[in-house]
């Protein structure tokens, strides 16, 4: 890389800020201009929000804009769009799809959700039963999806559906981009143990999706979906983090503000988990540096697996530290939040919310299989349904 590149990038950001003052420019106008200037995703191609530069420079660009008071692009509410849909569209989408979807996705004008899991196809995602039948240039989709984060405020969804039941389950899937405002899309809340409903179940009844919204080739949905899932696991477990941020930061703060609750045994456990959290944070940095050179692979499964385990152990330790105070729960009223906040509110919320960390984004059991087979090269589990047409499988 050119040694002068960071300085050139700094100057580009400075020129942009001089021409588009965040304090006086309307928020959406400013965000659209940043995208058009190639300063949204600097690693994306020119014309698609980027400059074709190394991904490692993104944090530097974001920091410069944050220091200047740049407006937010709703990244907390649109994690699925930014972390999963966008890189998948970039990799598999047509030129028309990239031009249509990436800009309003990045600016936060259009929020995205994920229609993958079903009541009978969670860990075994290839078993999805939602059908998509072609009718000319349109696909008619019917089925049920579940555990859909943010579906209640999403405009679009990445959707995995079965288009050919006559071949083995992995081969008969196709990937679509679904408009959540179309007739036949019914979103219903799923109330969680925390009291809120950030998840939903989604019923699709004869929903018409144009073939122009098919992502990738017909029947190639499993390949496209795996790219999405690899990005999801990195987004959940390998995101950039400062020291003592996330769950470890909450627990350490609770420790420091409750000296009367400390014991040698709790201190030893906290120190051990602090070290593990720091190792995970630094490993995440190395993983992101590797990802900057190519597409995410199964390595993301290790980060997501570690993230889930640490969150559950840390939130449990926090309750022990607080004693009877940890049994208090501030609010169990039904709410439908516009973003997922795994460490928000109080210790009771963190403990309950962390139970889902080992399920969402791939269960810990499935991730261990991925690590064993794809990273360690261990023998694969016996799979008796690999060569049987999907329609002949018992359900």
Closest CA to 175 of 233, 222, 117, 126: 222
Residues 6+ apart with CB under 8 A from 128: 116, 118, 121, 143, 160, 161, 162, 173
Would strands 131-135 and 173-179 be described as parallel, antiparallel, or unpaired? Answer: unpaired
Q: What is the CA radius of gyration of the chain?
A: 22
Could you give the residue numbers annotated as active site?
Answer: 232
Residues 156 and 175 sit within 8 Å (Cβ to Cβ): no
- Give the Cα separation of 86 and 82 in Å (integer): 5
Burial degree of 26 (CB within 10 A; 0-12, 13-18, 19+): exposed
Closest CA to 296 of 377, 366, 234, 360: 234
Residues 6+ apart with CB under 8 A from 394: none
Tell me which residue has tokens 């330790």.
317
């Amino acid at each position: 890389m050119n040694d002068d590149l960071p300085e050139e990038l700094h100057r580009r950001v400075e020129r942009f800020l001089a021409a588009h003052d965040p304090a006086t420019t309307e928020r959406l106008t400013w965000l659209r201009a940043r995208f058009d200037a190639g300063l949204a995703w600097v690693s994306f191609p020119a014309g698609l929000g980027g400059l074709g530069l190394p991904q490692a420079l993104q944090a530097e660009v974001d920091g410069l804009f944050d220091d200047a008071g740049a407006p937010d692009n709703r990244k907390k509410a649109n994690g699925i769009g930014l972390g999963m849909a966008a890189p998948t569209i970039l990799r598999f989408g047509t030129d028309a799809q990239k031009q249509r979807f990436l800009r309003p996705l990045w600016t936060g004008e259009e929020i995205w959700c994920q229609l993958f899991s079903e009541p009978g196809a969670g860990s075994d995602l290839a078993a999805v039963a939602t059908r998509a039948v072609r009718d000319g240039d349109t696909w008619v989709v019917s089925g049920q999806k579940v555990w859909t984060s943010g579906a209640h405020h999403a405009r679009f969804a990445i959707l995995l559906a079965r288009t050919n039941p006559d071949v083995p389950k992995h081969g008969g899937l196709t990937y679509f981009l679904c408009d959540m405002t179309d007739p036949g899309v019914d979103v219903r809340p799923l109330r969680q143990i925390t009291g809120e409903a950030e998840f939903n179940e989604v019923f699709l009844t004869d929903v018409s999706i144009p073939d122009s919204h098919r992502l990738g080739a017909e029947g190639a949905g499993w390949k496209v979906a795996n790219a999405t899932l690899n990005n999801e696991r990195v987004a959940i477990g390998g995101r950039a983090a400062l020291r003592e941020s996330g769950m470890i930061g909450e627990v350490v703060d609770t420790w420091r503000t409750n000296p009367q609750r400390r014991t040698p045994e709790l201190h030893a456990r906290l120190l051990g988990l602090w070290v593990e959290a720091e190792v995970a944070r630094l490993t995440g940095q190395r993983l992101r540096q590797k990802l900057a050179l190519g597409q995410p692979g199964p390595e993301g499964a290790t980060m997501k697996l570690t993230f889930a385990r640490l969150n559950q152990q840390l939130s449990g330790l926090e309750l022990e530290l607080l004693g009877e105070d940890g049994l208090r729960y501030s609010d169990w009223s039904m709410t439908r939040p516009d973003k997922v906040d795994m460490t928000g509110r109080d210790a009771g919320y963190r403990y309950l919310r962390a139970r889902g960390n080992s399920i969402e984004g791939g269960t810990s059991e499935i991730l261990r299989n991925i690590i064993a087979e794809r990273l360690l090269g261990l023998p694969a589990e016996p799979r008796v349904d690999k060569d049987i047409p999907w329609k002949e499988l018992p359900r």
